[in-house]
Chain A
Amino acid sequence: MKFDGQTLAGNTGFKVGKKVLLVVVLLLLALLPMFPNSAYLVSTVTLIMIYMALGQMWNLLGGYAGLLSLGMQAFIGIGGYSLAVFSIDAGLNIFVAVFLGGVISVLFGLVVSPALFKMTGVYFAIGTWVVAEALMIFFSNWSVVDYAKGIMIRSVYFLTGEQIYYIAVLLGVISVLVVYLLMRSKTGLALMAIRDNPAAAESMGVKIFSTKLKCYMIACFFTGITGGVAYINLAYITPSASISTQWTIAMTFMVIIGGIGTMEGPIIGSIIYVALTQYLYNFPGISMTILGAIAVAAIMVVPNGIMGTIHNKTGFELLSPRRIMPPDWKKLLGVERAKEQVEAAGDKASKKE
């Protein structure tokens, strides 16, 4: 992270304009179903909210915690199947079932984390993927989830599109809030410190392992919940579709196009992703090919994504995870004094020679 003057100047906290913008967006989201002829838009925004929640969690891991995971689809499967099994076979309320999906996701994450957290970087990415693939094969051979046949989730049929919309919006807003508040908490500071310099962070008392594990648990929980909500919307689940790399492709695509390591990246990314997939729906078959090509092109041209590029050029941030630095932060942190001391020590050394 750069603490140059421009970043600081452009980041003097929540300006009134931004606050108004946020309130307007939230109001529009709340009132959208009341507009006439908004049915198509409502179903599109439902998808955007679900994908945004997934993107936020993937970004929390990949963008902030340095845990590039290619296996978060495992938790979508767990969430979706928890909804199906607990609400149909056990007869529980669907929201309890979705919540249980989150809890089981956390437990599953805890069980696999000792192995996964021994790996770093690429190993972690592939390790998570192998876990997800293994889980997919397991589900396909498990009687409790009716093997690979799939389950019609009849328990959610009573919900109207509008109700699902509000569930999705709630989920989307909560996911943004959770990541935002987390990044502005002590954990967020610790994460940025680890990202910038792990050795220095650790020597200052930041617990790298437990900080990352905490993020992983949060991401597991909300990805599981989102999986449940996604399958409230889809109402039919199979192992190969729920624990599918399609989800990973979506998460990766959204965050990279939008801007990895930014709060707004997954929001913009999810809008682009859903709009693009809806549009490419007219060209069945080649849509994923085009998505793949766009993703490669985006990494080549704007490796920081849309928000990352905008932020680097203008310093604009809607939801800054950073705290506002007081204008005299250098003095407060003793940077100037430390610099003087270093320089003085350097002078002394050169005089000795």
Chain B
Amino acid sequence: MLQYLVQGILLGGLYAIIGIGMSMVFGIMRLTNLAHGDLMILSAYLALTFCDLLGGNLLLATLFTIIAMVIIGFLIQAFLVNHVLSKGAEPALLVTFGISVFLANLLHNIFSADYQSLPNSLTNTQVISTDLVSISAIYLFSFVVAILMIVGLHFLMQRTNFGRSIRATSDDDMAAGLTGVNTKRAYVYAMMLSMAVTAVSGVLIGSTYTFNASMGSSYLIIAFGVVVIGGMGSLIGTLLGGIVLGVAQLLGSYFLGTGVQLLVAYLVLLVVLATRPNGLLARATRK
């Protein structure tokens, strides 16, 4: 039981990173990126490919993956999403849906349906190993990375001009535009930043679990759940959302069996959606 709780909390850290990328795009341009899960899986595959090419150097492969994903984020935002954002929420949503279908099937064709994982030394290392609890190093590592990234992003958003222009656009895009912020460019930056985070989350997921091309949609729902439970644009809430989902999932597997663990997480998400649609930590709603 304790084992499941601890593992759930650490898993929550991993989920939080998946959610941050989505939260950013959602908070800033009110766009639900339905391709988010698939883009994450794409990063995992990219890391796998780079890793092979670079002779197994995962750290360097991660760097290349981040660069590649930032470029992809730029392309998606500048050439696709920016053009349909002005036509309302639905066309943009459906564009990302199309990207999701495209990516999931493309990856399936290139890499087949086999489960893959990123080779690393942390997966089989136990940090703590007692009768009560044993913690895998990769879980702890993901959790630490999640917290570091949340703190880092918090500073970036609060303390830099870059962050201010993005936040201004998020609060009121017209007013931001009037004061000299290039809102379309701010959207592109936000998407690129989101993709950088997504790249990291993809690498972490790939090192922690096995993955295949069709898993994007379940990670999308996790990402969405994290964002909804945590509240839009709240970085701390995102961590909380991740932990709630992670704990729900692992307690579900403890009490009901591994087959239904995701079902429990989904039910928790639905209950939160129906009762507190602005998130558990909801302040006064924006807009």
Q: Report which A residues bind B (CB closer than 8 A).
A: 62, 68, 70, 114-116, 118-119, 121-123, 125-127, 129-131, 133-134, 137-138, 140-141, 245, 249, 252, 256, 285-289, 291-293, 295-296, 299-300, 303
Pairwise interchain contact B273-A296, C-beta atoms closer than 8 A: no
Could you list 24 A-B pairs, sorted by A, with CB under 8 Å? A62-B90, A116-B274, A123-B277, A127-B270, A130-B266, A130-B269, A133-B266, A134-B266, A134-B267, A137-B266, A138-B260, A140-B259, A141-B257, A141-B259, A141-B260, A285-B108, A285-B109, A286-B105, A288-B101, A289-B101, A289-B106, A295-B98, A299-B91, A300-B84
Pairwise interchain contact B94-A252, C-beta atoms closer than 8 A: yes
Which 3 residue pairs of A and B lie closest in terms of their CB atoms, listed nearest first? A292-B102, A292-B101, A115-B274
A130 to B270 Cα, complex, angstroms: 7
Q: Tell me the nearest residue of chain B to A130, going by C-beta.
A: B266
B194 within 8 A of A: no
B125 within 8 A of A: no
Interface stretch among B46-54, B135-143, B178-186, B217-225?
Answer: B217-225
Pairwise interchain contact A123-B228, C-beta atoms closer than 8 A: yes
Question: Which residues in A have their C-beta under 8 angstroms from that of B98?
Answer: 292-293, 295-296, 299
Q: Please, how many residues of chain B have a CB less than 8 angstroms from a CB on the other chain?
A: 43
Q: Report which B residues bind A (CB closer than 8 A).
A: 30, 32, 80, 83-84, 87, 89-91, 93-95, 97-106, 108-109, 217-218, 221, 224-225, 228, 257, 259-260, 262-263, 266-267, 269-271, 273-274, 277
Question: Which residues in B have their C-beta under 8 angstroms from that of A114?
Answer: 274
Max chain A Cβ within 10 angstroms of own Cβ: one of B91, B99, B108, B273? B273
Pairwise interchain contact A126-B262, C-beta atoms closer than 8 A: no
Residue from the list B89, B108, B262, B273 in contact with A137, Cβ < 8 A: B262
A122 to B218 Cα, complex, angstroms: 17
A289 to B108 Cα, complex, angstroms: 10
Question: Which residues in B have their C-beta under 8 angstroms from that of A285?
Answer: 105, 108-109
Pairwise interchain contact A286-B270, C-beta atoms closer than 8 A: no
Pairwise interchain contact B80-A296, C-beta atoms closer than 8 A: yes
Residue from the list B89, B91, B228, B263 in contact with A138, Cβ < 8 A: B263
With contacts A119-B277, A300-B83 taken as known, whether A137 is within 8 angstroms of B99 at the C-beta atoms is no
A249 to B35 Cα, complex, angstroms: 13
Q: Tell me the nearest residue of chain B to A125, going by C-beta.
A: B93
Residue from the list B101, B225, B266, B270 in contact with A291, Cβ < 8 A: B101
Max chain A Cβ within 10 angstroms of own Cβ: one of B90, B95, B217, B269? B90
